[in-house]
Amino acid sequence: MEKNQAGLNFFQAHSLFINEIRREIHTICLREFGQNWQQNYSATFRFEGLKDTWNKNIDDGKLPEDLIECSNLEMFSRHYEGRQFFRNKFNDITFTVHASFKNIAKARNMVAHNAAYDSDIADLAYLSMIEIFRKLKKENLVNELRSLRDRSNIVEKINAKPKFRDKSNSHNNAERLFSNTE
């Protein structure tokens, strides 16, 4: 297995996550804001460029629920974290869910833009996705994410390069051990 397999596993996990979370957030927004929910959703964006891109995609005929991504969910969840409709869905993690979406977006960008795969960033994103699905009582998806995470970690271990220390020149490298009396 190649190290790229870990990235593919993450991409698959993210796809599972984003498809399900889009349905959840879309339902929440329809219930709270009505048919024109996308105006309330996009109003939470901190960057004008993101709002412009969102509006252009809507004008091009894309469905707003298909434009929900972890990067804009982070802003939406931060904005509405104290509101009752949001607390009802994400009770125990209301005030940290925006950080979870940010972690997931960071890992997604790492994989999507072919950056070096960092298993720590990916693990944090996996844990964030699992935490959100546990809160939403989606145990089958929790198990699927755990399986993908475990397979990615196996790939990482297989591809890990052993770390050797050159002991032949240890005195010159100031690696000498000292006794308690020294």
Confidence of residue 68 (pLDDT cuts 50, 70, 90): very high
The model's pLDDT over 95-144, given as tens digits with 9 standing for 90+, comes to 789 999 999 999 999 999 988 889 999 999 999 999 999 999 999 999 99
pLDDT on residue 159: 53
Residue 140 contacts by C-beta under 8 Å, 6 or more apart in sequence?
Answer: none
CB contact at 8 A, 56 and 67? no
CB contact at 8 A, 104 and 17? yes
How many whole angstroms separate alpha carbon 89 and alpha carbon 77?
11
Local structure of 46: helix, strand or coil: coil
Q: Which residue has the tokens 């020294």?
A: 182
How many whole angstroms separate alpha carbon 71 and alpha carbon 134?
21
pTM: 0.78
- The yes-or-no verdict on residue 71 having pLDDT over 70 is yes
